[in-house]
Copies of this chain bind each other. A is one copy, B any other.
Amino acid sequence: MSPAIFIDALQQELQSIQYGQNPPELYNPIRYIMSLGGKRMRPLLTLMGAYLFTDDWRKAVRPALGVEVFHNFTLMHDDIMDQAPLRRGQPTVHEKWNGNIAILSGDVMLVNAYQLLLNVEADKLAVALARFSRTAAEVCEGQQMDMNFETRWDVSEAEYIDMIRLKTSVLLGYALELGGLIGGADEETTLHLYEGGMNIGVGFQLKDDLLDVYGDPVKFGKQVGGDIIANKKTFLLIEALAQAKGALRDELIDWLTRTKFDKAEKVKAVTAIYDQLGIRELTESRINDYFARGFTNFDQINARPERKALLIQFARQLVERES
């Protein structure tokens, strides 16, 4: 078994999903955003979670895609709220169509996500949907926190971690838990899967923040320093705001409040401030903490070693990624 087989099964099924036809303004944006690709990390986690406990992992494919459709629904609505022009290098739905269509298509996508999750077997359906619903509400809570942070300069590390946990990590945890549930894992095991996925997810998001500043420009694929240019409240920035004192703090605030600046100069200057404060090392240390917690969670799971190795291997790629 290799991840390529899981990915192929997901792609096959993705192509067979009928999202509906009329009115086209409602359903074309769904096909569009789903066609933009992405790593399909969440449904992959679901399939890996199922495969830990059953050979019949294919029964997890449609529910797994429910998680992926939900994720893409959040992207569609987040892009409206963030007024983002591009998503994966292509125009966002509200730019390509309009805001109202992006709201309403997103609403249908959330319904579609539940429809795909309805493919969980009857005896596990109530638990799968109750846990999904709790997770979905938490993702919205995380997005609201993220928006609230935009106008604040005093976000604490604990608040920031809580925000990314809700906005990003709980869904990774749920994706893995769902796979375990479908595969037949007991309650204790699905909890380990959830927590493991969530911890890896926090590390993953912190790594995202780190790579944006310290990534290898060749390997990273995106413009290094994009978050600095946009004043995005990343882990690095909130730590720097929490730690910088005196002249260094004044310099940081100055860069954050300038309306006109040379982008490369700002990236260089803010990175230098991060360097002086040891933000890189601090961030790496937190990333390692969360990844280590995730692997400890996975240690608690009783499954066939060669199948667990697949999951561990996948998680390792998330740890070691350069882009």
Contacts and interface: CB of A to CB of B under 8 A. Distances in A.
Interface of A: 20, 22-23, 25-26, 77, 80-81, 100-101, 103-104, 106-108, 110-112, 114-115, 118, 122-123, 125-126, 129-130, 133, 136-137, 140-141, 143-145, 147-148
Contacts of A100: 80-81, 147
A167 to B, nearest CB: 12
Main secondary structure of the interface of A (DSSP, over half): helix
A136 to B, nearest CB: 5
Nearest to A24: B144
B118 A136 contact: no
Given A80-B103, A147-B100, A136 B111 contact: yes
Contacts of A129: 114, 118, 129
A104 B143 contact: yes
B126 A111 contact: no
A133 B148 contact: no
6 contacts: A20-B141, A22-B141, A77-B104, A106-B107, A110-B111, A115-B130
A118 B145 contact: no
A67 to B, nearest CB: 14
Contact of A107 (B77, B122, B147): B77
A140 B115 contact: no
Contact of A111 (B77, B80, B133): B133
Contacts of A137: 20, 108, 111-112, 115
A141 B112 CA distance: 13
A305 to B, nearest CB: 35
A130 B118 contact: yes
Q: Which 7 A-B pairs have the closest CB atoms?
A: A81-B100, A26-B144, A111-B136, A23-B144, A108-B140, A115-B133, A111-B137
A92 B148 CA distance: 21
Contacts of A77: 103-104, 107
Contacts of A144: 23, 25-26, 101, 104
A182 to B, nearest CB: 15
Contacts of A108: 137, 140-141
Nearest to A74: B107
B112 A110 contact: no
A214 to B, nearest CB: 31
A297 to B, nearest CB: 25
Contact of A125 (B101, B107, B125): B125
Nearest to A22: B141
A238 B291 CA distance: 62
Contacts of A22: 141
A214 B123 CA distance: 54
Contact of A23 (B107, B115, B145): B145
Given A23-B145, A81-B104, A122 B126 contact: yes
